[in-house]
Structure 1
Amino acid sequence: MDRATHVFFDFFGTLVAYDPAVHPASRNAPHEFAVRTGADLDASTASRLWDRAWRELDDAARASGRECSMYEIACRYAELTLPTVGLPSAGELGRLVDEYLAAWSADIRLADSAAECLTDLARDHTLAVVSNTHHPTLVQQQLDRFDIARYFSDVVTSIEVGWRKPHSLIYKRALERCGGVAEQTVFVGDTWDADVQGPLTAGMRALYVGRPGPGRDAVTLAEIPELVRTATARLT
């Protein structure tokens, strides 16, 4: 078995822990947007319409593999809240996205043992983040926030590539940009289809740090460096 030279990490749910709920508990940015733009909506209705906009575009992206952006979700929400007025300015829509993401990401925290894992592996491996995300700067902002950006040679995201994991193009793009060879690359993530099955199909090996289940043995980030270096039986 070839020695691993590259390790690719998923981000959300792998390197950071987060609440995947669509509506942040701390702030209802969609309702604030509705008030600013003159839509006669209460907070509950605004949340319901935001959820509808989110689900419409995210479900379509999941079905097609084509990533959608937070700006597109904001535009769809505006269409639902202001059907007879037309879309607000790009600045107003961008403000909605920024305020929503600020609230959504406020409670993100670095996963247990993430910093130690990265410090260890970065000594003798090339590391990269390969993540699905709706917003082009979100992952980098969080890497800077937790002071772990320095460990990674590149950040490859679905919104940039245009396709979300497990589409083959995002893995191919990551390998090309990082100078990696699939057979010498290990993918680490918490989502089975995107972070295990997709990388395996692309010729990489994979380590699963998500919720264990039948046929889905999980490891911890603390175990990753040794597993990467020794290619034990727990390395898929």
Structure 2
Amino acid sequence: MAVSFDLFGTLVDAPKPDDPARAIAAELEARGVDVPADWDEAYRTPYIDAPEGAEVPLHAHVSRALASRGVAVPENAARRAVIAAFDPEVERRKGAREAIEAAREGGPVGLLSNCSVPELVRRTLIRAELPGEFDAVVSSVACGWRKPHPKAFGAIAVELGTPVEGLTHVGDSPEADGGIEACGGRAILLDGTSLTGVPELLGER
């Protein structure tokens, strides 16, 4: 049976900026971008009419927000600013590696993470000393869909070579990660269960 893991809040702790708009503004200014005076309002305004459950890359949103105020920047500048603003210190949670190893005993192991920032999942895995631990890694910014949308779980299932009904997903969010159950798969939620208890729960499959 294939197993997928959530990343943030499950395998690692990686705090987000307290004020994302200000953090991004600081990184834009460091790159010579003239950030508009009403940036907070511009940042909060939606610009991309995406289907429900679709992921909007944060740098695309930032580019549109700047453009709405007459500030044109290369998309790469917005991308680099966003990545820098969300590049956190990372702490791997106790039991993370053991849970992954236990999952591997039963079949392929993947990672499925909601993340609108490009490169952040890869950087986080490196800092948590978990690169190369997964047979497949899927982020919402790469596949275009956020958990609990079925297409997000479908994307990791395809990468792991299993029907989505055969997937067990481990995560901390009943709403997002628990969405695997609506697809016919199994959820292991870390609400009252730590990662150290996951190997035993996986053994019950």
Same fold, TM exceeding 0.5?
yes
Partner of 2:9: 13
Conserved? CA contact 1:57–1:68, under 8 Å: no
Cα offsets for 1:73-98 (capped at 9, x unmatched):
22133235xx24x3122343233223
Q: Please give the alpha-carbon distance, in whole angstroms, between the structure 2 residues aligned to 1:127 and 1:202.
A: 18
- Checking the alignment, whether the CA contact within 8 Å between 1:8 and 1:127 is kept in structure 2 is yes
User: Counterparts of 1:48-127 in structure 2 under 5 Å?
Assistant: 48-49=40-41, 52-53=44-45, 56=46, 64-79=52-67, 83-84=69-70, 86-102=71-87, 105=88, 107-127=89-109
* TM-superposed deviation, 1:21: 4.7
Query: What amino acid is aligned across from residue 70 of structure 1 in structure 2?
Result: L
The count of corresponding residues between Structure 1 and Structure 2 is 203
Q: Which has the higher helix share?
A: 1
Separation in structure 2 between the aligned mates of residue 123 and residue 57 of structure 1, nearest angstrom: 45
Distance 1:209 1:57, change over 3 A: farther
* Equivalent residue, structure 1, for 2:188: 207
2:26 paired residue among 31, 43, 48: 31
User: Alpha-carbon deviation of 1:149?
Assistant: 2.3
Q: Does 219-228 or 88-97 show the bigger shift?
A: 88-97
Cα displacement (A) at 1:23: 2.4
Deviation of 1:195 after TM superposition, in Å, equals 0.7
The equivalent of 2:201 in structure 1 is: 227
2:98 is the alignment partner of 1:130: no
Q: In structure 2, how many angstroms separate the alpha carbons of the residues matched to 1:177 and 1:203?
A: 17
User: What SS does the corresponding residue of 1:171 show, helix, strand or coil?
Assistant: helix
User: For the structure 1 residues 170 and 142, does the alpha-carbon distance in structure 2 shift closer, same or farther, using more than 3 Å as the test?
Assistant: same
**Which stretches in structure 2 are left out of the alignment for 5+ residues?**
none
Q: Which residue of 2 aligns with 1:214?
A: none
1:189 corresponds to 2:184: no
When the two structures are superposed, what TM-score results if normalisation uses the length of structure 2? 0.84
Task: Output the CA distance in 2 between the equivalents of 1:50 and 1:127.
Answer: 40
Contact 1:7 1:188 in 2 (8 A): yes
In the alignment, residue 19 of structure 2 is paired with which amino acid?
Answer: H
SS at match of 1:13: coil
Q: Specify the structure having the higher radius of gyration (Cα).
A: 1
Deviates more, 1:27-36 or 1:157-166: 27-36
Identity of aligned residues (%): 26
Distance 1:77 1:182, change over 3 A: closer
**RMSD of Structure 2 on Structure 1 (CA):** 2.6
Unaligned runs of 5+ in 1: 211-217, 232-236
Q: Which runs of 4+ in 1 moved over 3 A?
A: 38-41, 181-184
Distance 1:57 1:166, change over 3 A: farther
